[in-house]
Amino acid sequence: MAEEGGPVVAQAGSSAPGPARRGGPPPAAAPAPEPQGVFGAYLAGRLAANESDAGVAADALLAALGAEPDEPEILTRAFNAAVMDGRPEAVRLARRLPESQLAALLLAGTDAQAGRWDRAEARIRALPRQGSAQILQPLLLAWTQAGRGNPDTALATLRPFTESGPLRGVAALHGAMIADTANRPRDAERLIRIAVAEADEPNMRLTTIAAGILARAGREADGARLFDAMAVGSDDIAMTAGPAARRAALSGRAVASPVEGMAEAQVALGAALRGQGAPELSLILARLALRLRPGFAPAGILAAESMADERHVTGALTVLEGISADDPMAPFVVLRRAALLGRLGRGEEAMVLLRRLAEAYPEAPQPQLALADMLRRQGRGAEAVAAYGTAIGRLGQPGPADWPLFFSRAMAREQAGDWAAAEADLRQALALAPDQPALLNHLAYGWVERGERLEEARRMLERAAAARPGDGNIADSMGWALFRLGDLKGAITWLEKAAELESRNATINDHLGDVYWAAGRQAEARFQWRRALGLDPEPGEMGRLEAKMRDGLPAATALR
């Protein structure tokens, strides 16, 4: 197979029979009473917090706290919501929560901004060395020591971590920034080289920091090579590795003060936690970073993406709109804004942004690629094909990482009814990435559906299934290929596996029904077709499924 609510308001009424009425409508049922006062505000705040709606949660919980200012549960929840929504009340509430680690982090940042470095250091030292704080504490501690004017002490704090262990890369990065702010270019260069070497893959923030440090150490060419590596391919972040970002990296320090360094540490941990599926905690850390460094684009992007993860797309848009158009990350921000507008059903607005971005960056493939994806999702296949063509034309020499562009254009060409051109794009994509399971599956399934190259398709699907044994779409394609080849036993085995892996997929259940029917298992076939009908099949498939439910399949056929 090729890959591709509001609250319920209860109403209460009497069930006892009433007197007969002549004429006019029956009396309206009385609505269920809603909780009032502090209890109602507290419940509303908790519900909003559970749905990760920080704005509504903060409003309700702060109102509840106003009515019950000494209730510990309300105080804690109101503080958390205030932090997540970026409310100024958070600092006042933090002072009433001496046992809260989050409150300690916020107050340490407030002390640092006011130059109270001794107090900030004491708060950081008091954090337990466990969980997320185990990573964050040594970094923040080193920055508070740098803030006190003791870079040697700060570097000594980080030294055990920079020598070995899982934190070596991040500790070396922060050590390099501390040495850089202390005008010690040789120490900064040594540590930043460790950080770059330890990175699993290049990232834009590390590149920006490292390029500036290397330039100040007289190694500007090495920094330029880092930008060159980031600029390759069609990845969104590659668009930010252009001349503006290079100038910014060389014209000033990416981290110019200990307070900014503390923000950097919080964003780095927040990004890591978001990658591990903890968007709420990553949002909290992004908000703390923005308090320390207002307008800090990486923190704003992290906050917006964490909010979008929790389906608060409008709030995410508001955060992104606050990032300066002059920031080196601005092109990336516009791409993210367009994606969020698309999620809100505001595709035309999104496409206006993307077309403007494409005009402003005539050599970049990313805006045209995003535009093409949006057109394809709207069913405008021919327009999407043209936009993909423009994006591919801007690539120069396509590399292995660019196979998704050809794959996407192939799907748009299928949508536009041009299988021959789609097949050519799929072959081009496979030439770039010969072992990519999604490509093997899509091309092979296309052949199977058309009754072409069935043995070659089976071999390709065997490779795809070996690479992704838990992929229900690939299992479906394999079962469908075996069905077309007349191997009913093998087809049933693979399609039953596919239905276990993707039980709510209409196409897979439809295919399983077909092979059951061909094997003489009519009752099971009708069950699968009935199930497929209830799983939101494509509109054009409804009539075909209903006909099979009524008439079955032609005798002994393995082709539709």
In this structure, the number of other CB atoms found within 10 A of the CB of residue 424 comes to 15
* Rounded CA Rg of the chain: 29
What pLDDT is attached to residue 4?
53
> Does a structural domain hold residue 23?
no
Buried b (16+ CB within 10 A) or exposed e, 344-379: eeebeebbebbeebbeebeebbbbbbbbbbbbbeee
Q: What is the pTM of this model?
A: 0.80
Low-confidence ranges of the chain (pLDDT < 50): 5-35, 556, 558-560
Which residue type, as a one-letter code, is found at position 74? I
Distance separating alpha carbons of residues 91 and 66, to the nearest angstrom? 16
What pLDDT is attached to residue 6?
31
What pLDDT is attached to residue 555?
61
Number of domains observed in the structure of the chain: 1
> Does a structural domain hold residue 554?
yes
Tokens standing for 359? 């005009």
Tokens standing for 546? 């209903």
Any idea what the Cα angle at residue 388 is, between residues 387 and 390, rounded to 5°? 65
> Does a structural domain hold residue 121?
no
What pLDDT is attached to residue 3?
60
What pLDDT is attached to residue 241?
80
Distance separating alpha carbons of residues 388 and 223, to the nearest angstrom? 32
Euclidean distance between the first and the last CA atom of the chain, given in angstroms as a whole number:
15
> Does a structural domain hold residue 521?
yes
| Nearest one of 361, 411, 414, 348 to 391, comparing CA atoms | 361
In this structure, the number of other CB atoms found within 10 A of the CB of residue 267 comes to 27
Distance separating alpha carbons of residues 334 and 321, to the nearest angstrom? 9
**Which CATH number goes with the domain that contains 478?**
1.25.40.10
What pLDDT is attached to residue 248?
82
> Does a structural domain hold residue 464?
yes
| Nearest one of 239, 227, 245, 246 to 391, comparing CA atoms | 239
Residue 514 belongs to domain spanning: 438-560
What pLDDT is attached to residue 454?
96
Those residues with Cβ within 8 angstroms of residue 523's Cβ, 6 or more apart along the chain or in another chain: none
Placement of tokens 């296309």 in the chain:
446
> Does a structural domain hold residue 551?
yes
Distance separating alpha carbons of residues 424 and 414, to the nearest angstrom? 11
Placement of tokens 């077709």 in the chain:
529
> Does a structural domain hold residue 347?
no
Tokens standing for 552? 């079955």
What pLDDT is attached to residue 558?
42
Placement of tokens 């009424």 in the chain:
13
508 neighbors 499 (Cβ within 8 angstroms): yes
What pLDDT is attached to residue 390?
95
> Does a structural domain hold residue 334?
no
